[in-house]
Amino acid sequence: MRLLQYVVGGLTTGSLYALVALGIAMLYRSSRVLNFAHGDLATFATFIALTLLVRRLPFGIAVGASLAAAAALGAAFFFFIIRPAKESTLLGRIVITLGFALLLSGLMQLIWGNETQRFPFPLSDAPVLQFAGVVISQISLGTIVAGVVLMALMYVLVQRTRVGLAMRAVAQNAAAAQALGIPARRIYALTWGLASALGGAAGVLLAPVVYLDPYMMLDPFLKGFAGAVLGGIDSLPGAVLGGFLLGVAETVFAGFVSFKFKTTLAFGIIILVLLVRPEGLLGREYHRRV
């Protein structure tokens, strides 16, 4: 039962890592950009939601508006910064996203300050399920369910709709997709917007658990990024799996072995997996052209 309790805790954390990982993987798959501003964008969206909630807007409207704002910001970032810099190297684009992250972080500190704040949420910490010593709270259950639903919706969108087909086509070969009449730029912008909204959703789900401040996503972003690499950064199911695995692995290790080295272990596992499968658990095998 002890193990089960840690697994449940790990799944709650893992669902958030998975949401972050999914956003990162979507962007990488479509535009080959590792977006280091993903976490700050998510926090920015969460602060917008908080501002609206403080003004007594209904929760659904506040969160919906914040996710829309995150999507708009993500799409704008692609259109006005990433796209004009398409000739830059991979490293150059990473530096651009890092710069955007710093800009967003500075803006958040300027607008909302550095204070740690409680994020109002319709669910509470009260336990809803207690079975043989295993406890899960409303908020944890809500986080897991919301995370899974969002990921399922994203899967349906990408795999079962025409827009998703276009997204996959652009990801595989943008020039060919464009030649076939797919508006590649708009699809890129849509992908950036969706990924940013996913990040915003992760922020909104995380804030009631860990409190909101401009640095809230620092650790979850790093773990989500690691989860994406673990699962395969060009595989959406892989990124989700990686996020969940990382959450469970670090929680179980902390509970049974050591808290001081839980992050070390998590990254140790990633190194081992990448040594055996460089493409990640569910990533496509990488072939070098000769």
Partner 1 sequence: MRTVSRLALVVVAIVTLATVALSQPAERGVTPTEIVLGTTMPTSGPAAFWGVPISTAMDVWLRLINEQGGIHGRRFRLVVKDDGYLPPRAVANTRELVERDGVFALTSSLGTANVFAARDYVVETQTIWITPLASTDIWAGFRGKKYIFATYPSYIEEGIYLTTYAAQNLKTKTIAVFYQNDLYGQQGLLGVKRGIAKAPGTKLVAQVSYEVTDAEVAAQGQKIKESGADTVILYATPRHGALIVREFAKLGYRPTLVSSFTLTDPAMFALAGEAWNNVHLGAYLTLPGMGDAKVDNVLATLTRAVPALARNPFNANAGVAFIEAFLEGLRRTGPNLTKDRFVTAMESIKNWDGEVVRAVTFAPDRHQGTTRLYMIKAENGRYVRLTDWYNYSPKF
Q: Which two tokens stand for residue 90?
A: 């991979």
Query: Pick from 59, 79, 155, 215: which binds partner 1 (CB under 8 A)?
Result: 215
Give the footprint of partner 1 on residues 113-152 (CB under 8 A): 113-116, 118, 125-127, 130, 135, 137, 140
User: Per rule CB under 8 A, is residue 111 in the interface with partner 1?
Assistant: no
Residue pair 39/228 in contact by the 8 Å Cβ criterion:
no
Phi, psi angle pair for 283, to nearest 5°? -75, 160
Tell me 123's DSSP state.
S
Measured distance CA(132)–CA(7) in Å, rounded: 14
Residue with tokens 């499968």: 277
Measured distance CA(192)–CA(181) in Å, rounded: 20
Helix, strand and coil in the chain, % to nearest 5: 75, 5, 25
User: Per rule CB under 8 A, is residue 160 in the interface with partner 1?
Assistant: no
End-to-end CA distance of the chain: 53
Q: Which is nearer to partner 1, 35 or 137 (CB)?
A: 137
Give the range of 6-14, 60-68, 82-90, 173-181 binding partner 1 by CB under 8 A.
Answer: 6-14
Query: Pick from 88, 99, 109, 129: which binds partner 1 (CB under 8 A)?
Result: 109
Query: Pick from 147, 200, 203, 220: which binds partner 1 (CB under 8 A)?
Result: 220
Q: Which of 173, 228, 177 is nearest to 198 (CA)?
A: 228
User: Per rule CB under 8 A, is residue 262 in the interface with partner 1?
Assistant: yes
Measured distance CA(180)–CA(176) in Å, rounded: 6
Query: Pick from 151, 166, 216, 233: which binds partner 1 (CB under 8 A)?
Result: 216
Q: Which is nearer to partner 1, 43 or 235 (CB)?
A: 43
Least distance between partner 1 and beta carbon 234 (Å): 26
Residues forming contacts to partner 1 in the complex (CB under 8 A) are 2, 5-6, 9-10, 12-13, 109, 113-116, 118, 125-127, 130, 135, 137, 140, 206, 209-211, 213-216, 218-220, 250-251, 254-255, 259-260, 262-263
